Amino acid sequence: MEETPQSRADAMYREDRTCQELGIRVDGISEGRANAHLRLAPTMVNGHGTAHGGYLFLLADVAFAYACNTHGATTVAQAAQVSFLRPASAGDELVAEAVERSRFGQNGIYDVTVRRVDGKVIAEFRGQSRSLPK
């Protein structure tokens, strides 16, 4: 059976306990692209009543991970940064959209935008990936 970006994502998700436990859904899979969805639970907010930055980073990192693993090689993060632009609140449905910007050798650069479903941008994330030798 031929592997596709979707079949690779499905195989990853079957082993991804973090996404399963937190209710993160992954879709929009194509070469160099992936979306991740999360509804913020009340337990995911900080002392200010806004989304804990760690959950926003996690959601973006999930989309990044699935996007950079669409090419077949096992690929991991080598660096990432996030800019928090707006607060999000418990109950908000968030979507992280990852897009490949460049692949060169075993390296890749991916941008991820985290939005509320109303379109307001919550965070911007940039990840650098590294494909592992087989």
- The CATH number of the domain where 39 resides is what? 3.10.129.10
Residue 2 has pLDDT above 90, yes or no: no
Q: What is the pLDDT of residue 99?
A: 98
pLDDT on residue 100: 98
pLDDT band at 124 (very low <50, low <70, confident <90, very high): very high
State pLDDT tens for residues 79-120.
999 999 999 999 999 999 999 999 999 999 999 999 999 999
Mean pLDDT of 3-19: 96
Per the structure, the count of domains in the chain is 1
The residue segments making up the domain with residue 62 are 5-131
Q: Indicate if the pLDDT at residue 1 is higher than 80.
A: no
Average pLDDT over all residues of the chain: 97
- The H or E element spanning position 13 is helix 5-14
pLDDT tens for each residue of 55-74: 999 999 999 999 999 999 99
pLDDT score of 81: 98
Whole-number pLDDT of residue 120: 98
This prediction has a pTM of 0.96
